[in-house]
Structure 1
Amino acid sequence: MLGSDRRQDLGPAKGHRRRGLFAVVSALCAAAVAATLLAVNTSGGSDDRPELTSAARSQATDKTVGYFTNWGVYQRNYHVKNIETSGSADKLTHINYAFGNVQGGKCAVGDSYADYEKAYTAAQSVDGKADTWDQPLRGNFNQLLKLKQKHPDLKVLWSFGGWTWSGGFGEAARNPAAFAESCYNLLNDSRWKGLFDGIDIDWEYPNACGLSCDTSGPNAFGNLMKALRAKFGDKLVTAAITADASPGGKLEATDYRTAAQYVDWYLPMTYDYFGAWDTKGPTAPHSPLSSYQGIPKEGFNTQATIAKLKSMGVPSSKLLYGLGFYGRGWSGVTQSAPGGTATGPAPGTYEQGIEDYKVLKARCPATGKVGGTAYAHCGNQWWSYDTPETIGAKGDWAAQQGLAGAFFWELSGDTSDGELIKAIR
């Protein structure tokens, strides 16, 4: 998975997302959270990848879910039409629209202008037709409806929460039925009838700490998902969840096993394990597939996360693995290999310490691999990010694990011709 630019970006130590201060808040709060609900094995597994049949590859890539951010239409100048022109629409099975807010125990609109008011010109529009001043629906919602007309099998879910807006889930959990009712009514508003095929919940984090700390208890998340399933019926109900598989970590703070029966799938945020919120390092890849000698923290890799969820009783068929379409980096680094010291975050276009893949590909090309992902040392900067090669290898591993597919944060980080998403499919 930031209120306005995120997923607010952190995964495990951070949060779908970000960062220094946020990671500090999380660390300070962690001691207050009841952990150790289950004792589990967090061993990762082998990097060896046997040859795969086409059927196995199809299983691993059955679902390809991409997040589209409503704030991307501003500085990033990334619009629904870009999903089409990049070729990404042909590769996606689902789009998660981020984010809706959670206020007063209810689902709420996050940005009405971007969501359904912004007027699009003919050149900006998916179908080449300009919006008119008096039409009932404009903005991203209207453009997504046009995209679905071009791609009838494409599903769209509205994602609520994220790093910035997860603080509202505590109140929502006190009356799950009322929360579910509000979400159902909002998704089925007559103005955008037929747009949303389901809901995605991005609670960072139930009974644990993200931007703020939650003390709703280990059963609150499951009760919330149960209420959503009861209200939404056969519509899609999914949830982005922590990837913190460390001993006593966030995965142990909530009963994800019981909640799993109510979701179509989980999206464990297997990225942002490490980053320049640790300003002096050590440098480490933010989305490692596997552990490696010298990794700064046990349980902070994709294999450990998936292994832990399986050991908790969550079936492989309800697990996607996560990819970041961006890199995280440090400045003041002299050591090329991971584990070096730094002086602070590397500069980024929108925020220090983070940059889109499409920029890093040219500005700081990969110079090595570790833990199944890539890293780059250029000048005094050190970055880590996934490449088409490492994404393909992660897909091979996911096929062997029988996972339901892949998801990524987020569409605007890819190249204009969809280089990364094409590596997934």
Structure 2
Amino acid sequence: MATPRHRPPARTAAAAAILVAVPLVSATQASTAAADTTAPGTLTVTQIENARWPGGYQAEITVANGTGSPVSDWTVDFSLPDGAQVEHLWNASLDEDGDGYTATPPAWGAAIPAGQSYTFGYNGELSGRSTDFTACTVDGAPCSGNEYRQVGYFTQWGAADRGYLVEDLVDSGQAERLTHLNYAFANLDENGRCFMSDEDGEGDAHADYGRTYPAAESVDGVADSADQRLRGSFNQLRELKERFPDLRVSIAIGGWAWSDHFSDAALPENREAAVESCVDMFLRGDLPELNGAGGRGAAAGLFDGIDLDWEWPATPGEPGNVVRPEDKENFTALVREFRDQLDALEREKGREFDLTAFVPASTGAVEAGYEVGKLADEFDFMNVQGYDFAGAWNPASGHQSNVRVPEGDPADAPRSYETVVQTYLDRGADPEDLVMGLPFYGRGWTGVQPGPRGDGLWAQADGAASGEWEPGFNDYSVLKDYAGTDGFELYRDDRAGTAWLYDGTEFWNFDDPTAIAQKAAWAREAGLSGVMSWSLDGDDAQGSLTRAFDGELNGRG
């Protein structure tokens, strides 16, 4: 049995501090003082408003140095809410652009000794209510000193089916805002072993590492050559990691369509070999030779971990999945085998490997298939399904993803982020073990009656609305253009953290940037270690949803 280990979450734990307003220093002398609120090992930035008058206010901004070494240069990028703007700033240099402000040390310098802080101030114009930062980074990191996990799933089929390439993660600004990227999915054979194939419905090795990318579609702007051992999305991910070296990339195994043989992998007689096959293929990089690519070590160093997406242990998922009553206990044993082999590989390679999972929103599925407390000891974190609470499989419209149970929800056992997360906490997980899933898509019904409220919510429907990719399903990038067109009106429940569109017959529940930010704020307030998005190709070309949760959690926006 593996010794349970607890890695710290991506965000740095920092004690809550009470900020006390103090008089601003003179315009000719900035303050350098002991930093009582500094997060260990980081630079942090706080703003305090200490005066307000009709049409204006005064604030001070403090940069605290917890790095353990003197800091002679720093850059604070921040944005203010609508109705607030900087009029005159002192004791720092200021540049302004359309996205906000950049403050740097003044011409005479502003070195900050270890454990000390530096304060500058400004007078601002005010026509609104709030003056709090809407985004803030110091040297590119969150001003709070807390780095939340921001996980995104990149789909194997996105390149061929949707024209969504790894390069699009760069162009949209998504890549620079993610801490973890999961490539979905790898498949398991009848013995539970990882394998590669180009057989329809079994795999797409050509997309993974066979496709030759031209320069215009490549992350590094260089065309693949036909004799490369690693091409396709895998090579593009390698190039992405070279550009963003702090990004952790994992291979996700299973998913809805390829969880058929997870139960076989978890059997005692198969466990060790099943895990070894996945470790060898993806972490050692020993890819089968297909399409003129692959070979021993071809993908070495590409993946930083393994994400287990068994949907679901001891609970039927897609028809055809193998399900056994002993799946619950076997899954725990399988996870421990993964952890043991990853620990051994860490000792061999001198680097860390992540072990994570995607886990369900259904209380019944959790109870049937997950020994939550034991699993939390083995996983670095668990990505919690925060969507598909409702869909066209239901006879009436509803919310497929909501933070709190909305008032008037007619369900016998309504679900929400609050109820789902509580399911895991009650069974032994800590909040920091959990990352909350966000949908980058919506669920839709047609033939929906207006209902008692006239907005189509919780009203009888005829079935699934027509979707771009499948009935009852549309990406955010499609739905965002519905509002105000063809009779669609946008409705919102801010308490539930969700939105929907209705035109009198067609109903779509979906998340726009406002709803995504509300969900991310809830995750932060609940003490979770971050958020996860399914899937990145559902965002628009500007990465609007990714920017929304990044702005809420890590201050970059």
TM-score range, shorter chain: 0.7 to 0.9
Write the distance in 2 (CA, Å) between the matches of 1:100 and 1:270: 22
Write the distance in 2 (CA, Å) between the matches of 1:251 and 1:167: 18
Q: What's the CA shift for 1:59?
A: 8.1
Q: Structure 1 residues 60 and 405, CA, compared in 2 at 3 Å: closer, same or farther?
A: farther
1:173 aligns with 2:173: no
Report if the CA contact (8 A) 1:242-1:251 is conserved: yes
1:309 aligns with 2:424: yes
1:341 aligns with 460
Write the distance in 1 (CA, Å) between the matches of 2:447 and 2:145: 43
Root-mean-square deviation (CA), in Å? Answer: 2.0
Write the distance in 2 (CA, Å) between the matches of 1:123 and 1:407: 29
Write the distance in 1 (CA, Å) between the matches of 2:144 and 2:491: 29
| Residue aligned with 1:272, SS | coil
Q: What aligned pairs does 1:271-286 form with structure 2 within 5 A after superposition?
A: 271-278=387-394, 281-286=395-400
1:78 aligns with 2:164: yes
2:355 aligns with 237
| Residue aligned with 1:286, SS | coil
Unaligned runs of 5+ in 2: 1-131, 197-202, 286-296, 344-351, 551-557
Q: What's the CA shift for 1:102?
A: 1.1
Q: What's the CA shift for 1:379?
A: 4.4
Q: Structure 1 residues 239 and 311, CA, compared in 2 at 3 Å: closer, same or farther?
A: same
Write the distance in 1 (CA, Å) between the matches of 2:390 and 2:143: 29
Write the distance in 1 (CA, Å) between the matches of 2:258 and 2:470: 19
Which of 394, 398, 404 does residue 290 from structure 1 map onto?
A: 404
| Residue aligned with 1:84, SS | helix
More strand by share: 2
1:94 aligns with 2:208: no
2:511 aligns with 386
Report if the CA contact (8 A) 1:273-1:300 is conserved: yes
Report if the CA contact (8 A) 1:267-1:319 is conserved: yes
Q: Structure 1 residues 353 and 58, CA, compared in 2 at 3 Å: closer, same or farther?
A: farther
Write the distance in 2 (CA, Å) between the matches of 1:59 and 1:318: 19
1:416 aligns with 2:535: no
TM-score of the two chains, using structure 2 as the length reference: 0.64
More helix by share: 1
Which of 366, 370, 373 does residue 257 from structure 1 map onto?
A: 373
2:323 maps to a residue whose letter is D
Which shifted more, 112-121 or 130-139?
A: 130-139
1:228 aligns with 338
2:313 aligns with 206
Write the distance in 2 (CA, Å) between the matches of 1:156 and 1:319: 18
Report if the CA contact (8 A) 2:456-2:507 is conserved: no
1:407 maps to a residue whose letter is M
Write the distance in 1 (CA, Å) between the matches of 2:504 and 2:462: 14
1:406 aligns with 2:516: no
Q: What's the CA shift for 1:229?
A: 0.5
Q: What's the CA shift for 1:378?
A: 2.1
Which shifted more, 167-176 or 288-297?
A: 288-297
1:108 aligns with 195
What whole-Å deviation, never above 9, does each CA across 1:368-416 have from its counterpart, x for those lacking one? 1232211110242100011111111112211111101000100110010
Report if the CA contact (8 A) 1:59-1:402 is conserved: no
What whole-Å deviation, never above 9, does each CA across 1:132-173 have from its counterpart, x for those lacking one? 111211100000101111101011000000011111101100
Write the distance in 1 (CA, Å) between the matches of 2:215 and 2:170: 15
Write the distance in 2 (CA, Å) between the matches of 1:352 and 1:179: 36
1:16 aligns with none
Q: Structure 1 residues 210 and 62, CA, compared in 2 at 3 Å: closer, same or farther?
A: same
Q: What's the CA shift for 1:57?
A: 9.2
Report if the CA contact (8 A) 1:270-1:323 is conserved: yes
1:138 aligns with 231
Report if the CA contact (8 A) 2:184-2:251 is conserved: yes
- The number of equivalent residue pairs is 370
1:397 aligns with 522
1:300 aligns with 415
1:27 aligns with none
1:88 maps to a residue whose letter is Q
Q: What's the CA shift for 1:177?
A: 1.7
Report if the CA contact (8 A) 1:59-1:405 is conserved: no
Report if the CA contact (8 A) 2:261-2:322 is conserved: no
Report if the CA contact (8 A) 1:329-1:382 is conserved: yes
**Ranges of 4+ aligned residues in structure 1 off by more than 6 Å:** 51-57
Q: What aligned pairs does 1:28-67 form with structure 2 within 5 A after superposition?
A: 62-67=148-153
What whole-Å deviation, never above 9, does each CA across 1:307-363 have from its counterpart, x for those lacking one? 110111101111000011000000111311411111110111110000010110002
What whole-Å deviation, never above 9, does each CA across 1:239-295 have from its counterpart, x for those lacking one? 0011113xxx111112122111110001111101100022xx311011111112224
Write the distance in 2 (CA, Å) between the matches of 1:252 and 1:82: 39
Write the distance in 1 (CA, Å) between the matches of 2:186 and 2:430: 28
Q: What's the CA shift for 1:202?
A: 0.3
What whole-Å deviation, never above 9, does each CA across 1:60-100 have from its counterpart, x for those lacking one? 86111000011111120000000000010110111100000
1:183 aligns with 2:278: yes
TM-score of the two chains, using structure 1 as the length reference: 0.83
Report if the CA contact (8 A) 1:207-1:218 is conserved: yes
1:156 aligns with 2:273: no
**Higher RCO structure (Cα 8 Å, ≥6 apart):** 1
Write the distance in 1 (CA, Å) between the matches of 2:464 and 2:144: 39
Q: What's the CA shift for 1:217?
A: 3.3
1:180 maps to a residue whose letter is V
